Structure 1
Amino acid sequence: MKTILLIPARHASTRYPGKPLAELRQKDGSVKSLIRMTWEAAQQVRGIDAIHVATDDARIRDAAEGFGASVLMTSPEAANGTERCAEALAQVEADLIVNLQGDAPLTPPWFVEALIDRMARDPDAAVATPVLRCDRRTYDMFIEDRKAGRVGGTTAVFDRNLHGLYFSKEVIPWIDPAKVPDPVPVFHHVGVYAYRPDALRAYARWPEGELERREGLEQLRFLENGARVACVEVEARGRVFWELNNPADVPRIEAVLREG
């Protein structure tokens, strides 16, 4: 099974323009761009035959090629990372496509490897994506963002067979603040996907759904069209996971890097 990993990256982010080129200070004091950190994270994943940055922006292309990445140019019309991956698919051949979004440099390799394994074992799954049970620190960051009016990470709910029921930028399910249990029954959706080629091509043909538009979450288009999204529960193994969604996330991620 030929598996390629794509890193979709755009410069014109609504919440954080130029985000892929945002610089983060490393533990040793050096500085690396977000897109470079994500590319380096991708290098650690086993079972990948090729890695490409998919972008529509010459600045991101030049930066990526500068640190040795292969780049596929896509159109500026792509509405989200999944559409950009669907465009890039026309330029490559693959049996499985992994989307490691360019704002997730803290993604451990075993998160991605778990998706590849799930897709190999579940031929009915069109898409697979990781979910991570929140520890109290991560849950508190979710609540802090919502209180501050920031749209931060995404949460997921799924059925007993780990098929996705819904994804939201709200913290779901709701928990009484005075009775937060341990472990916290909230799952952080990790913004990584594995797609079968037919599912990715179908996604590009479907119009934007109402829930997708309201939440701003690309994966809801699959659910709105009846495609099965397999949620794969992963473990942090002591690592802290968080995406760079807003400028406020830069110090959070840099703090994690200092601790690492």
Structure 2
Amino acid sequence: MGVLVIIPARYASTRYPGKPLVELRGATGESKSLIRRSWAAAQGVTGVDRVVVATDDDRIKSAAEAFGAEVVMTSTDCQNGTERCAEALDKLGGGYDIVVNLQGDAPLTPAWFIEDLVAGLSAHPVAEVATPVLRCDGRALNGLLDDRRQGRVGGTTAVFGADHNALFFSKEVIPYTGQVFDDADETPVFHHVGVYAYRPSALAAYPRWASGPLEHLEGLEQLRFLERGAHMLCVEVEARGRQFWELNNPQDVPKIEKMLAEMNLS
């Protein structure tokens, strides 16, 4: 089974322009760009045949090639990472059984998240797309709630059925719970990890579909699959003591750097 990992990265982010090139200090004090950390995360995954960066920006291309990444240049017309992955796969000529979209803003993604994701999609032949979900502890949930109180769009949450088929994703914290949780408490809220595994046929179909109202309202690309009735599998992954957060806003930089230090990640 051939597995391709694509890291889509664009410079012109609305919320955080130039985000892929933002430097993050690790536990040793060494700074590495976000795109380099995302590349390193992909390199640590077993069972992957190829890793490429997909971008439309020469600055990102130059930075990525400088640390040894393979780069595929894509159109500026791509509306999101899934469209960029679809174009990159087409330019590479296909030939893979599963394509993984490792968003370029998730440098804390552990290798087993992606390994479990690929295994989950492989074990469910009906599923067209799979994505990881991580049960929030109180610390993570309180971080999501604090972002919303401060008017920031932070992490995304997911709800799914008993069969783990995705029901909805939102930038609001869902499902609602009025409980107060301590940092170490287990909560009923699942943090959506911004990684996707696609069947090539589902990925190829995606850019041909018009985006729907839910995708527009939430600004979440995966809702296009749900609005079209695609079977999206939510694969629950385990933190194993690791903290997880995505870089969505400038305020996330010190938070991620603190996590890198606490987990002794260089």
User: Is the shorter-chain TM-score for this pair beyond 0.5, marking a shared fold?
Assistant: yes
Q: Are positions 1:87 and 2:103 aligned together?
A: no
Query: Aligned match of 1:175 in 164, 174, 177?
Result: 177
Report if the CA contact (8 A) 2:3-2:47 is conserved: yes
Report the AA paired with residue 232 of structure 1: V
Report the AA paired with residue 234 of structure 1: V
Shift of 1:182: 3.9
Query: What corresponds to 1:20 in structure 2?
Result: 20
Q: Are positions 1:200 and 2:203 aligned together?
A: yes
Shift of 1:178: 4.5
Structure 1 stretches of 5 or more lacking a match? none
Deviation sequence 1:69-123 (CA, Å, 0-9, x none)? 0000000110000000000011222111000000000000000001111121111
Report the AA paired with residue 128 of structure 1: A
Query: What corresponds to 2:131 in structure 1?
Result: 129
Query: Aligned match of 2:145 in 114, 138, 143?
Result: 143
Deviation sequence 1:157-181 (CA, Å, 0-9, x none)? 0000000000000000111145789
Q: Secondary structure at the match of 2:132?
A: strand
Q: 1:20-59 counterparts in 2 under 5 A?
A: 20-59=20-59
Deviation sequence 1:41-93 (CA, Å, 0-9, x none)? 00000110000000000000000000000000000110000000000011222
Rounded to whole Å, the distance in 1 between the matches of 2:87 and 2:175 is 34
Change beyond 3 A, Cα 1:257–1:219: same
Structure 2 stretches of 5 or more lacking a match? none
Identity of aligned residues (%): 63
Find runs of 4+ consecutive structure 1 residues off by over 6 angstroms: none
User: Superposition RMSD on alpha carbons, in Å?
Assistant: 1.1
Query: What corresponds to 1:117 in structure 2?
Result: 119
Rounded to whole Å, the distance in 2 between the matches of 1:108 and 1:218 is 22
Rounded to whole Å, the distance in 1 between the matches of 2:89 and 2:42 is 18
Query: Aligned match of 1:185 in 188, 203, 206?
Result: 188
Q: Secondary structure at the match of 1:4?
A: strand
Q: Secondary structure at the match of 1:88?
A: helix
Q: Secondary structure at the match of 1:186?
A: strand
Query: Aligned match of 1:253 in 229, 235, 256?
Result: 256
Q: Secondary structure at the match of 2:187?
A: coil
Q: Are positions 1:230 and 2:260 aligned together?
A: no
Shift of 1:209: 0.9
Report the AA paired with residue 28 of structure 2: D
Report the AA paired with residue 198 of structure 1: S
Report if the CA contact (8 A) 2:133-2:190 is conserved: yes
Q: 1:64-79 counterparts in 2 under 5 A?
A: 64-79=64-79
Aligned residues: 260
Rounded to whole Å, the distance in 1 between the matches of 2:202 and 2:121 is 12
Q: Secondary structure at the match of 2:91?
A: coil
TM-score (norm 1): 0.98
Rounded to whole Å, the distance in 2 between the matches of 1:81 and 1:151 is 18
Rounded to whole Å, the distance in 1 between the matches of 2:207 and 2:234 is 21
Q: Secondary structure at the match of 1:134?
A: strand
Rounded to whole Å, the distance in 2 between the matches of 1:192 and 1:24 is 20
Query: What corresponds to 1:215 in structure 2?
Result: 218
